[in-house]
Amino acid sequence: MAFTLTSIVEHLGGELLGGGGIVIRQVATLEKATPDTIAFLANERYLPQLKFTQAGAVIIGDNLRGALDRTCIVAANPYSYFARVSALLNPEPEPLAGQHPTAVIHADAKIGEGVQIGPGVVIEEYAVIGSHCCVGAGSYIGAGSVLGERVRLYPHVIVYKGCSIAKNSVVHSGAIIGADGFGIAMDDGRWIKVPQIGGVLIGEDVEIGANTTIDRGAIEDTVIEDGVKLDNQIQIAHNVRIGAHTAIAACVGIAGSSRVGRYCRIGGASGIAGHLSIADHVEISAHTLVTKSITEPGTYTGAYPFEANRDWRRNAASLRNLGELTERVRALEKALDMRKKGK
């Protein structure tokens, strides 16, 4: 794929400063760019790299309009514009309609037009595969599950029975949608399983990373709303609801029946305890453990910064005694207050 700068601006908007006839074949960093590539600059601390970049053009914000003497595209958000240019130059391949001879498809499954079904795929009864989907090699679609139009499953994705993935969503390899939630009850000294009879509902334009697992609901469905982006190796437990356009980084764990709002951002390796509610527009820093509901938008951080082990051990010992120290301070404050009143 190749586009002139004029054509890129016609497709994506922005303001072109300089020669529109330059042909762009790929995106690149400022450091590695060549004359047929385009780079972006969103942070002024990288301005020195502009002296040496060989990029055919650079995407900049309006704040740098007068700072550069070279061909540029001015955009309100240079990074998102760069992402859109990259998507323009690197489109996903269209599915090659057809079914591999090793695929096993139940006679009662419904397959739409233009669907690509790879080697070793299994599609169970009453499953529905929407038009122009791509089901990668070794994937499994359980009975009654539904894929909307243009859903792409990379190889070895498992979709259990009774789950739904809406149109234009992407699920990467190793992801498991609809496994049983961790529902157990103690009965006479032994654990008994609570049947997980809900499903998983995944909205439009959702992306699910490799080896991420989303459990089915115990009674009602687990829900991932439109536009959610999930990184690799995330665990979402039964009956969780993730609000639209929320982004969650790798290795996050969300316990059962929690609700995460819309437009949230959750940093890597964070944990959210069960039955909590997170408001819209909340940002949770990496490695934060959330143990109570968050009712107001904002940034929340609970990660304890690393330090030399000797210092960490001393501070950890102090933290263990923090409750006792707090009580002693309160007692001293009370005694001091009483002495002041006695005067």
- The helix-helix angle for 309-320 and 322-342 (nearest 10°) equals 50
Tokens of 23: 């042909």
Dist CA 225 CA 193 (whole Å): 28
- Pairing, β 110-111 against β 72-74: unpaired
Choose, from 172, 238, 245, 287, the residue flagged as catalytic: 238
Answer for the pair 271, 277: CB distance below 8 angstroms, yes or no.
no
What burial class does residue 115 get, using C-beta atoms within 10 Å of its C-beta: 0-12 exposed, 13-18 middle, 19+ buried? buried
Contacts of 321 (CB under 8 A, 6+ apart): none
3-state secondary structure 289-309: EECCCECCCEEECCCCCCCCH
Tokens of 193: 């399983």
What burial class does residue 78 get, using C-beta atoms within 10 Å of its C-beta: 0-12 exposed, 13-18 middle, 19+ buried? buried
* Distances in whole angstroms, Cα of residue 280 to Cα of each of 196, 207, 242, 243, 283: 28, 20, 10, 8, 9
DSSP-assigned beta bridge partners for residue 99:
117
Dist CA 278 CA 294 (whole Å): 5
Dist CA 91 CA 13 (whole Å): 18
- The helix-helix angle for 78-89 and 5-12 (nearest 10°) equals 110
User: Is 238 labeled as catalytic in the residue annotation?
Assistant: yes
Catalytic residues: 238
